[in-house]
Amino acid sequence: MTLEAKVEAQYRAWLQDAGIDEATKAELRALEGNEKEIEDRFFRDLEFGTGGLRGVIGAGTNRMNAYTVGRATQGLAQFLLKELPEPRSVAIAYDSRNQSPEFALETALVLAGNGITAYVFESLRTTPELSFAVRHLKASAGVVITASHNPPEYNGYKVYGPDGGQLVPDMADKVIAEIRDVTFDQIRRVERSQAESAGLLKWIGREVDDAFLTAVAAVSQNPDIVKAMSEKLQIVYTPLHGAGNLSVREALSRVGFTQVHVVAEQELPDANFSTVKSPNPEERDAFKLALELARKVDADLIIGTDPDCDRMGAVVKDSAGEYFIMTGNQSGAIMVDYLLNSMKEKGGLPNDGVVVKTIVTSEMGAVIARSYGAEVMNTLTGFKYIGEKMTQFDERGGHTFLFGYEESYGYLAGNYARDKDAVVASMLIAEACAYYKSKGLSLYDVLQKLYRQHGYFLEKLESRTMKGKDGVEQIQGIMADWRSNPPAEINGARVAQVLDYSQGIDGLPRENVLKYVLEDNSWFCLRPSGTEPKIKIYFAVCGKTGEESAAQLSALVQAVMQRVDG
């Protein structure tokens, strides 16, 4: 059967399925004759990637809707019933996106239909709190309904294992195998009243919130300095209409920050993120309103968190008094230095301490960590791999986790969760700001000092969006071209090493990623996104001066993107 015939068959099957509600069928009927849209909705099933199940909300197998959520949950339930012992339970959280509460309840009712207890947060909560809750409640698994920083038309479904970490490939493959064989008429679902009366749907709230925030506050390094500087340090915070509002503010308050100014226009949940193009703290536009408020209150620091509050972006004043948006690599390097330096000052830096980062994250943080005697480990992209390392440290001993981070604004300190946490990152970057202000330094000053000490590390990310079936094929073609025809040199610099992670190198799982290291130690990396229809190209250089690094980076980006764009 051709792809076109399969798409048409799927489309007709949904229209004829007695289990599909009339509103969904009406949405599909309205597409009659729009072959391109029908193809995009049915040419494949949504797949688990770096962030689990994620897609545009709507009807179809390649969309986020109650049916794809129900099917995924039935597969998860079957996996839990086969693989994990009784009593089985799943913690569920959701963010501020369209249909997040509905998808969370649907997940709970399907689990209950399979005899599995669902612990559901009574209102929106952050992704890191869900990771914490799995561990705190000793649940068999966790689910969070979120599309992280994607545009408003998206939603998603992330699955967590009993350690509180996102599913790693071996476990994910088993869940996917179960999902693959599920048809809609096999989904076992009960009504809410039945699930509640049977004790299979339980609502959770403040008790878990308090335990989570206590664990976050325990990571604080210098509470006395924070309290001494609290009246002098001005912080602007924006939750970008997401789940971080209450948690971040409470965490900052618990460690002593008093001058926290929240961007009023972005304080409350808004599923359409109406004040921003994209609710992503990686993008400058997301900070437009925060920058306006910062100038009014003369803020030392601006903090922004994404809708599910697992990513944190920071803005600081530069030497000219202008606001400078730090990259994830820069914020991460500062937090590595602050955390390890604080531990060292107190005599509490462990001899077996480890900093964990991803293969596309700057080497600057690694160099800083090693300067304190810490070991550095690399993982594939996706915080699930950092969480996996943490669980291995707990099980095997011999290593103490200090800090984990990735260039895409994800950070974790502390051992209470297994996913990136913008709550603790917000607290740490604010604490670092207070600590250095007490010494007459801004975070920008600290960054420049680290550059002078360790080298001028500069990085850049380019991405190309390629939607639909044609886009998937384009991305596959780009990767195949670079894999089969690797460059011998770029801009006169010899390619010293080609790292093809699809071969399972460095003891890491196989993944479709290519990294090219040049003889001057600069590098670039090609990686299809696991959560969006994009191919991402990462670049990194290190020079003796900022000017040298900037010129080197510009030339590298131009040369590589010329070939990518064809």
Residue type, 138: K
pLDDT of residue 49: 59
Angle at CA of residue 40, ends 36 and 46, nearest 5°: 175
Please give the full DSSP string across 283-307, using - where no structure is assigned.
SGGGGHHHHHHHHHHT-SEEEEE-T
pLDDT of residue 47: 78
- 480-511 CB burial, b ≥16 within 10 A, e <16: eebeeeeeeebeebebeeeebbeeeeeeeeeb
Answer whether 142's CB lies under 8 Å from 88's CB: no
Predicted TM-score (pTM) of this structure:
0.95
- What's 410's DSSP letter? E
Per-residue tens of pLDDT for the chain, all 566 residues: 798 999 999 999 999 988 899 999 999 999 999 999 999 999 988 876 556 789 999 999 999 999 999 999 999 999 999 999 999 999 999 999 999 999 999 999 999 999 999 999 999 999 999 999 999 999 999 999 999 888 899 999 999 999 999 998 889 889 989 998 898 889 999 999 999 999 999 999 899 999 999 999 999 999 999 999 999 999 999 999 999 999 999 999 999 999 999 999 999 999 999 999 999 999 999 999 999 999 999 999 999 999 999 999 999 999 999 999 999 999 999 999 999 999 999 999 999 999 999 999 999 999 999 999 999 999 999 999 999 999 999 999 999 999 999 999 999 999 999 999 999 999 999 999 999 999 999 999 999 999 999 999 999 999 999 988 889 999 999 999 999 999 999 988 999 999 999 999 988 999 999 999 999 999 999 999 877 789 999 999 999 999 999 999 999 999 999 999 98
Retrieve residue 45's tokens. 């099933």
Please give the full DSSP string across 146-212, using - where no structure is assigned.
--TTS-TTEEEEEEE-TTSBBPPHHHHHHHHHHHHT--GGG-----HHHHHHTT-EEEE-HHHHHHH
Cis peptide before 350 (omega within 30 of 0): no
Cα–Cα nearest to 241, from 207, 204, 289? 289
What are the residues facing 356 on neighbouring strands? 377, 404
> Among all residues, which ones are annotated catalytic?
148
What domains can be seen in the chain, in order of their start residue? 1-43 (no CATH), 48-205 (3.40.120.10), 231-444 (3.40.120.10), 456-564 (3.30.310.50)
Angle at CA of residue 342, ends 337 and 346, nearest 5°: 150
pLDDT of residue 66: 95
What are the residues facing 534 on neighbouring strands? 465
Cα–Cα nearest to 413, from 398, 423, 424, 429? 424
Query: Strands of 89-94's sheet, edge to edge?
Result: 53-56, 154-160, 141-145, 89-94, 117-121, 201-204
Give the distance between the most distant pair of CA atoms in the chain. Answer: 71
Give CA–CA dist 131/119, Å, rounded.
13
Query: Where are the strands (E) in 368-470, listed by range?
Result: 375-379, 400-406, 410-412, 456-465
Retrieve residue 17's tokens. 């399925």
Give CA–CA dist 258/430, Å, rounded.
12
Retrieve residue 342's tokens. 């604080």
Give CA–CA dist 537/517, Å, rounded.
13
pLDDT of residue 513: 97
Residue type, 450: L
Give CA–CA dist 563/566, Å, rounded.
5
Question: What backbone phi and psi angles, to 5 degrees, belong to 400?
Answer: -110, 120
Instruction: Tell me the three-class secondary structure of 89-104, residue by residue.
Output: EEEEEECCCCCHHHHH
Residue 33, phi-psi category: left (phi > 0), alpha (psi -120 to 50), beta (remainder) = left
Question: What backbone phi and psi angles, to 5 degrees, belong to 90?
Answer: -135, 130
Answer whether 426's CB lies under 8 Å from 248's CB: yes
pLDDT of residue 50: 54
Burial class for 264, CB neighbours closer than 10 Å (0-12, 13-18, 19+): exposed
Give CA–CA dist 106/189, Å, rounded.
8
